[in-house]
């Protein structure tokens, strides 16, 4: 352990920035019969190689000795990456122990999303070391394939076999690799936005069980007609997998294409069903201050003020008279996220029931902005209350590399950095958020996810049931 800590490449090591896999499948005798063993996974750091088991021991020792906070404090602006790395190692370690060594696709995607690699294809090829034999065989990937082909094959397999995570919500907003389909994330890019909607989970705020809230579920419900299907033998298969040391997949996550996203044969296209709801009519460019190291510095506050002025002016022109404008606007620019801490290691939840006074937090933030502009210097945020500081944190996270927009039917929203006037706002069945699509000649291109208040929790499905909108493909 002391050698690992002394190496200059220690951070590259345990953040899994480069993960390789020995593609030779190994077997061993287990209780008198052959049992699958995972491929050998190694992390590269400089000219050195370290096996996955050593990574696990390294992180465990750091946690046991209470050194995690010290290590994270050394990195300054990179603290978020360090925190993500610790969580990634923990998730993979837990899955490999609980699910017969194989790690589900959704966990792999979340745990390895912020890696870097010398070769872009290693962002996917490296994941093979954590997968079960069945998935490796079906994917049939090789590092000799073109990068766009590797990413497309992995993406097409993913959207058919993983019910918990929606791949469309991981679509990067920056330029993608040449030849990559618009719906498929560039797995080699840095994740530059905080995802608006991801796995459905419950989180309780405080001790009141009535405050349990959900991530967005625009195109599905937890129960009933629009519930994401689950395999009826899911729990039984998991138990069998654990006792027989089989991979975590083996049909466990194949729920019959739960999101209904169908790859088109001999094509990089996918076919999706959903509801066309609206069209974008106005767009405000991204908030440049959201990428600043110090979000509340004087220069950044000036940028925030100008961006906010344009956005709220568009909101006033768009929202219907009599609506609770400040509340809708404040929830939109933060994607309705609420944090439980003012530190960067916060847990976030979504205020579905509108229990939090987000409008009040926004107005108090505006008072700070006006005071800073009046003083023409940076003012310490120390006097702001904790709720307002949490609002500011969410504002920076969710407005980073996102554009504010308005629609023909009087809606406002927050979406990806490449939104254009004329993009179509849709809800796809069994997907967590609304999305924006673009018609170019005879093609429909995927633009990205969006937050639009009033469409985040199955409201479009209710409109469909009432006959107010129609299903389309």
326 and 189 assigned to the same domain: no
Q: Which two tokens stand for residue 265?
A: 């044969």
What is the DSSP code (8-state) at residue 423? P
Q: At which of 344, 377, 400 does a domain end?
A: 400
pLDDT in tens, 228-277: 876 544 444 445 444 444 444 444 444 567 788 888 888 888 999 999 99
CA 94, CA 188: separation in Å to the nearest integer? 25
DSSP state letters, 74-121: TTGGGHHHHHHHHHHHHHHHHHHHHTTT---HHHHHHHHTT---SSTT
What local confidence, expressed as pLDDT, does residue 244 receive? 47
Q: Which two tokens stand for residue 125?
A: 């090829």
CA 426, CA 391: separation in Å to the nearest integer? 28
CB atoms within 10 A of CB 139: 19
53 and 184 assigned to the same domain: yes
Helices (H) and strands (E) in the chain, counts: 15, 18
Percent of the chain with pLDDT over 90: 37
Query: Mean of the pLDDT values across residues 1-14?
Result: 56
pLDDT of residue 69 exceeding 80: no
The structure's pTM equals 0.84
CA 436, CA 325: separation in Å to the nearest integer? 23
148 Cβ contact partners less than 8 Å away, ≥ 6 residues apart:
177, 178, 179, 180
Map tokens 């469909």 to a residue.
Answer: 464
What local confidence, expressed as pLDDT, does residue 215 receive? 83
Closest CA to 99 of 131, 64, 72: 131
32 and 150 assigned to the same domain: yes
Confidence of residue 278 (pLDDT cuts 50, 70, 90): very high
168 and 298 assigned to the same domain: no
Whether residue 414 lies inside any domain: the answer is no
Query: Mean of the pLDDT values across residues 45-52?
Result: 78
pLDDT in tens, 433-466: 999 999 998 899 999 999 999 999 999 999 999 9
Total domain count for the chain? 2
Whether residue 370 lies inside any domain: the answer is yes
Confidence of residue 378 (pLDDT cuts 50, 70, 90): confident
50 and 162 assigned to the same domain: yes
305 and 176 assigned to the same domain: no
295 and 163 assigned to the same domain: no
Whether residue 349 lies inside any domain: the answer is yes
37 and 164 assigned to the same domain: yes
Q: At which of 159, 193, 227 does a domain end?
A: 193
What local confidence, expressed as pLDDT, does residue 65 receive? 82
Task: Residue 349: give the domain boundaries.
Answer: 287-400
Percent of the chain with pLDDT over 70: 76
What is the DSSP code (8-state) at residue 375? H
Whether residue 230 lies inside any domain: the answer is no
What local confidence, expressed as pLDDT, does residue 111 receive? 79
Whether residue 167 lies inside any domain: the answer is yes
180 and 60 assigned to the same domain: yes
What local confidence, expressed as pLDDT, does residue 199 receive? 57
Dihedral (CA of 320, 324, 326, 332) sign? negative
pLDDT in tens, 104-136: 788 888 778 777 788 888 889 888 878 877 788
DSSP state letters, 143-198: TTS-HHHHHHHHHHHHHHH-SS--GGGG--SS---TT--TTS--TTS---S--SS-
Q: Which residues of 419-444 are buried (b: 16+ CB within 10 A; e: fewer)?
A: beeebbbbbbbbbbbbbbbbeeeeee
Whether residue 254 lies inside any domain: the answer is no
14 and 131 assigned to the same domain: yes
Please answer whether residues 340 and 346 qualify as being in contact, where contact means their C-beta atoms are separated by less than 8 angstroms.
yes
CA 443, CA 445: separation in Å to the nearest integer? 6
Query: Mean of the pLDDT values across residues 180-200?
Result: 80
Q: At which of 400, 431, 448 does a domain end?
A: 400
CA 365, CA 376: separation in Å to the nearest integer? 16
Whether residue 463 lies inside any domain: the answer is no
Whether residue 243 lies inside any domain: the answer is no
11 and 123 assigned to the same domain: yes
Query: Mean of the pLDDT values across residues 401-416?
Result: 96
What local confidence, expressed as pLDDT, does residue 324 receive? 80
Three-state DSSP state, 23: coil
pLDDT in tens, 143-182: 899 999 999 999 998 888 887 788 999 886 656 688 899 9
Closest CA to 129 of 153, 149, 111, 114: 111
Q: Which of 68-77, 226-235, 353-362, 367-376 has the lowest mean pLDDT?
A: 68-77
45 and 153 assigned to the same domain: yes
């Amino acid at each position: 352990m002391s050698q690992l800590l002394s190496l200059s490449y220690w951070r590259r090591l345990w953040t899994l920035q480069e993960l390789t896999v020995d593609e030779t499948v190994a077997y061993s005798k287990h209780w008198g019969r052959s049992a699958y063993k995972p491929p050998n996974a190694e992390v590269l750091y400089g000219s050195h190689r370290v096996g996955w088991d050593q990574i696990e021991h390294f992180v465990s020792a750091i946690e046991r000795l209470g050194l995690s906070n010290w290590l994270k404090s050394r990195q300054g602006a990179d603290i978020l990456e360090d925190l993500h790395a610790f969580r990634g190692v923990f998730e993979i370690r837990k899955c490999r122990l609980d699910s017969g060594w194989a790690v589900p696709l959704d966990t792999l995607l979340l745990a390895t999303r912020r890696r870097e690699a010398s070769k872009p294809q290693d962002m996917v090829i490296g994941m093979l070391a954590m997968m079960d034999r069945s998935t490796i065989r079906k994917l049939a990937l090789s590092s000799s394939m073109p990068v766009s082909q590797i990413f497309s094959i992995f993406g097409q397999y993913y959207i058919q076999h993983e019910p918990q995570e929606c791949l469309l919500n991981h679509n990067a907003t920056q330029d993608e690799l040449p030849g990559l389909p618009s719906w498929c994330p560039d797995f080699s890019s840095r994740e530059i936005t905080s995802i608006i909607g991801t796995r459905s989970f419950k989180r309780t705020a405080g001790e009141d069980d009535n405050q349990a809230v959900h991530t967005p579920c625009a195109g599905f419900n937890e129960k009933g007609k629009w519930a994401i299907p689950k395999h009826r033998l899911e729990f039984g298969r998991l138990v069998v997998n654990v006792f027989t040391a089989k991979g975590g997949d083996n049909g466990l996550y194949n729920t019959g294409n739960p999101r209904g996203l169908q790859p088109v044969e001999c094509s990089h296209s996918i076919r999706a069903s959903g509801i066309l709801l609206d069209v974008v009519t106005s767009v405000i460019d991204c908030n440049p201050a959201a990428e600043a190291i110090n979000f509340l510095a004087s220069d950044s506050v000036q940028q925030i003020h100008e961006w906010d002025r344009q956005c709220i002016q568009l909101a006033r022109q768009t929202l219907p008279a009599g609506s609770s404008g400040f509340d809708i606007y404040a929830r939109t620019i933060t994607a309705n996220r609420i944090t439980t801490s003012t530190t960067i290691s916060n847990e976030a939840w979504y205020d579905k029931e509108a229990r939090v006074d987000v409008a009040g937090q926004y107005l108090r933030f505006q008072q700070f902005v006006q005071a800073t502009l009046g003083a023409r210097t940076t003012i310490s945020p120390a006097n702001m209350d904790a709720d307002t500081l949490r609002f500011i944190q969410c504002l920076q996270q969710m407005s980073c590399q996102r554009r504010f927009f308005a629609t023909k039917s009087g809606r406002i929203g927050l979406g990806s950095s490449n939104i254009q006037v004329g993009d179509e706002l849709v809800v796809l069945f069994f997907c967590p958020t609304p999305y924006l699509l673009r018609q170019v000649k005879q093609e429909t291109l995927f633009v990205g996810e969006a937050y639009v208040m009033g469409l985040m929790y199955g409201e479009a499905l209710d409109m469909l049931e009432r006959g107010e909108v129609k299903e389309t493909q």
